[in-house]
A and B are shown apart, each in its own frame.
Chain A
Amino acid sequence: MTSRIEKIFKILRKENKKAFIPYIMAGDPSLEKTRDIVLMFEECGADIVELGVPFTDPIADGPTIQRASERALKAGVTLKKVIVFVNELRQSTQIPIVLMTYYNPVLKYGEENFIKDAKDAGVDGVIVPDLPPDEGEEFISQSRKAGLSTIFLLAPTSTSDRIKKVAKASKGFIYYVTITGVTGSALLLDGSIETVLSEIRKYTDKPVAVGFGVSTPEEASVVAKISDGVIVGSAIVRRLHESPDDLRSYLISLREAINGLV
């Protein structure tokens, strides 16, 4: 079964294009606002949307997304509500949606119920940053059966064994974290990303999208050239709160940069 995510990457590859994957925390500051932002993402040329699920202890996230998470929790947003939200959103858009959620809310929801409800609601994939593939065998095989893509993370410290494991466990794409660190850290464009990406490509031909620290169109352009997709999170969340009027033009500039138009 070819998923929506795989279809997108197939088309992009054929056209020699790269994916633009913007991130937004669901419910920051409200789900109504998130709906508008997701639709804006699509209008500005996003290929896939990464939707954050708030959690009290987001250990992989830097201050920007931590604060977004706190705001969303304050607004009463939970994993259940995010799934219902995606279901409603499907009346307005068919853009592939990937949830980024920590594992404990999934465990509490019940793995099986979560996979079923998420899939039924129209969620395409899920990133669980604190679930290593070694600990998630059941989750991976259940998701596979249901047609929900599991996307795992690789980092600069990943060994070849880990690359193989993550490549095998990932469906849709592999998420390469550019830095040792948390979301929103400064990006280092010194050729090291390229080195690791070519190492990853030795083991898999699955698409590799790059995230954590991509902030400017210039950075997006460099990353797009060497990867299959660019994920931008903290920089979008920051703009949403600091200069919301610029968000649309910023998204368009990212899209153009990823298309090689900068």
Chain B
Amino acid sequence: MPALKELEEAFLRSKKDREFQRELNYLQKTYIGRPTPLYFAKRFTEHLGGAKVYLKREDLAHTGAHKINNALAQALLAKKMGKKRVIAETGAGQHGVATATGAAFVGLECEIYMGTEDMQRQALNVFRMRLLGAKVTEVSVGSKTLKDAINEALRDWTTNVHTTHYVLGTVFGPHPFPVMVRDFQSIIGKETRRQILDAEGRLPDYLVACVGGGSNAIGLFYAFLTNHESRLTTPIKMIGVEAGGRGIETGEHAARFAGGSIGVFQGCKTYLLQDEDGNVLGTHSVSAGLDYAAIGPEHPYLKDKGRISYTYATDDEALSAFELLSTTEGIIPALESAHALAEVVKLAPKLPREKIIIVNLSGRGDKDVQHVARIKGIEL
């Protein structure tokens, strides 16, 4: 608890600290490569034959996903707080890579917790983290995936709280994490808003993003959630896409809204996949980054307010969207982002050509290539 208070104070101070903001701003430009482009996916659009599809290219950010926006900012904050060491959990490995990068950049010791199963799925990212000087620690308890990695990171943080900052990778966990991570990711939506006004002279009709913990979705949506926009005659429709895995009826999925109920987990109250005794259920998704039993608490809040709607895409739908974007645009998306694309594949053809959809292409698919080959039975 005192650690959370210390973090909250440091975070609030950093928001008013001009020097910190200037440095962050400079690094966003020169190190992360922001603003990331907003790209009109012409051939993908033509293939679907409906609404115009734009991609917010977070896959072009340094390290290949939106995760760096948060990880670098938290690493700077940790340094400012006088911490010697940062730790993080990772599922797909993107947040682990981003944190290892941030730690290398500011010169802090770094340890990443990762479930055994995820380490196998994302072997490439494990090696990347090690190249960046991080220690990667295997978590072989529980379901051996992201949630267990978070448990282990929380245990580490409780133990080494004096020297260590926990770089939580998504809009989850105890306060101030959901607010802080949203703040660091909201640059995605701020840029997108400007870029679409430049490109089309108007705001989009739809925003679509995949939702694991929910940071890339909140990052894109947040700048569009202002009062002004909720008073528009036709408010922007925002859609979060969860992992439908092998289908909701099979129980092998990570669709918290479709299959979960309210619970308290890892420091927050939110939607959770749990059994009738309050134990957390195992999840399944082809993408490690969405394979998680709970969702950031702001998502249920925004769902209840009717501002965001949620749906899911199955493994198969995501895999076919993964291939479709690769062949029509020459862009290999992360399997996580492919879930958002799968929703666009269903949605765009039903809409007239003047409608505009923006998808958060939250990460690039290099890390998934081996995994996809394995699924297709191809030996590399």
Contacts and interface: CB of A to CB of B under 8 A. Distances in A.
Interface in A90-146: 103-109, 130, 132
Interface in A58-85: 58-60, 62-63, 66-67, 70, 73, 78-80
A179 B158 CA distance: 9
A227 interface: no
B263 A108 contact: yes
Given A57-B265, A104-B265, A104-B280, A66 B141 contact: yes
Contacts of B267: 130
B225 interface: no
Contact of B264 (A66, A104, A158, A159): A104
Contact of B278 (A60, A63, A104, A132): A104
A130 B277 contact: no
A59 B272 contact: no
A55 B263 CA distance: 13
B159 A104 contact: no
A96 B174 CA distance: 33
A109 B160 CA distance: 33
Nearest to A177: B158
B264 A130 contact: yes
A56 interface: yes
Contact of A56 (B2, B262, B264, B280): B280
A106 B278 CA distance: 8
A62 B141 CA distance: 11
A179 B3 CA distance: 15
A180 B274 CA distance: 29
A79 B278 CA distance: 9
Contacts of A58: 151
Given A104-B280, A106-B278, A180-B158, A59 B266 contact: yes
Contact of A59 (B2, B151, B161): B151
Chain A interface SS verdict (over half): loop
A19 B143 CA distance: 38
A108 B274 contact: yes
Contacts of A80: 277
Given A105-B279, A107-B264, A158 B158 contact: no
A79 B141 contact: no
Give the size range of B's interface with the partner.
20 to 34
Contacts of A162: 1-2
B276 interface: yes
A57 B161 contact: no
A107 B274 CA distance: 12
B159 A59 contact: no
Contacts of B1: 132, 157-158, 162
Interface in B146-170: 147-148, 151, 154-155, 158-162
A180 B2 CA distance: 12
A180 B277 contact: no
A112 B278 CA distance: 15
A55 B265 CA distance: 11
Give the size range of A's interface with the partner.
20 to 34
A70 B147 CA distance: 15
A181 interface: yes
B279 A73 contact: yes
Contact of B266 (A57, A107, A179): A57
Nearest to A131: B264
B2 A159 contact: yes
B160 A107 contact: no
B107 interface: no
B82 interface: no
A107 B264 CA distance: 8
Interface in B25-75: none
B263 to A, nearest CB: 5
B272 A57 contact: no
A259 interface: no
A108 B141 CA distance: 23
Contacts of A55: 278-279
Given A56-B279, A57-B265, A182-B155, A104 B161 contact: no
Of A56, A79, A132, chain B has the most CB atoms within 10 Å of the CB of A56
B352 interface: no
A253 interface: no
Contacts of B265: 57, 104
A159 B276 CA distance: 37
A185 B278 CA distance: 27
A222 B371 CA distance: 55
A17 B274 CA distance: 44
Given A59-B154, A79-B278, A130-B267, 10 more contacts: A58-B151, A62-B155, A79-B277, A104-B264, A104-B279, A157-B1, A157-B2, A180-B159, A181-B155, A185-B159
